Amino acid sequence: MKDIYVLRLGHRPARDKRVTTHVILVARAFGAKGVYIEGKDEKMIKSISKVIDSWGGSSYFLVKEIENGKNIVNEWKEKGGTVIHLTMYGININDLQDKLDKIKYPLLIIAGAEKVEGWYYRNVDYNIAIGNQPHSEVAALAIFLDRIYKGRELYMEFGDAKIKILPQNVGKKVIRNG
């Protein structure tokens, strides 16, 4: 698994609870090692911890509330990693694949909720569009991570999972551990 983290900007508990939850679930399921959430939402963190506890990742997957995303970006630059911002205004990902294959890790992926401040556009290494149409941070993150891993993340297993799915064409089969 690569050294990849997500920075979720501008989380507003009343409006963004569901979408931020999905950002975290996608980050975990598609091969990131954690999510920094700009904002406070104790209830959401509790419910996501339960999912991680059952499905695995609690030993390494970080979910951390932070006050200011800029500090994380600066921290990333100090340690020589790469920072990318997902935005419909950026360069189409199809035109950046060669560069993505050579980026320096750790990688920080920024996904917004409300309008993202200009500072981020100017201070990241790449502003990347998953197509130049407005859609969703959840879709953008999933497609971006899939391009990084080229589909391999879909076979990822979590060693500490208490529940595991046995894939079926019809029906549901799960193994429960402990």
Q: In what order do the strands lie in the sheet with 62-66?
A: 62-66, 34-38, 4-8, 107-111, 82-92, 126-129
Site for ligand SAM in 19-78 (CB under 6 A): none
Candidate segments 32-40, 50-58, 125-133, 159-167, binder of ligand SAM by CB under 6 A = 125-133
Q: Which of these ranges, 58-66, 68-76, 108-116, 167-175, lies near ligand SAM under the rule CB under 6 A?
A: 108-116
CA nearest to 52, candidates 72, 73, 32: 32
8-state DSSP, 94: G
Residues 156 and 142: beta-carbon distance below 8 Å: no
Work out which of 13, 131, 152, 165 binds ligand SAM, going by CB under 6 A. 131
Contacts with ligand SAM, 68-107, as mask; x by CB under 6 A: ------------------xxxx------------------
d(CA 90, CA 8): 17
Respond yes or no on whether the N-terminal peptide bond of residue 167 is cis (omega within 30° of 0). Answer: no
Q: Assess 135 for contact with ligand SAM (CB under 6 A).
A: yes
Tell which one of 108, 116, 145, 161 touches ligand SAM (CB under 6 A).
116
- HSE, CB side, 13 Å, CA atoms: give it for residue 13: 8
Q: Which residues are annotated as a binding site for S-adenosyl-L-methionine?
A: 86, 112-116, 130-137
Q: Which residues are annotated as a binding site?
A: 86, 112-116, 130-137
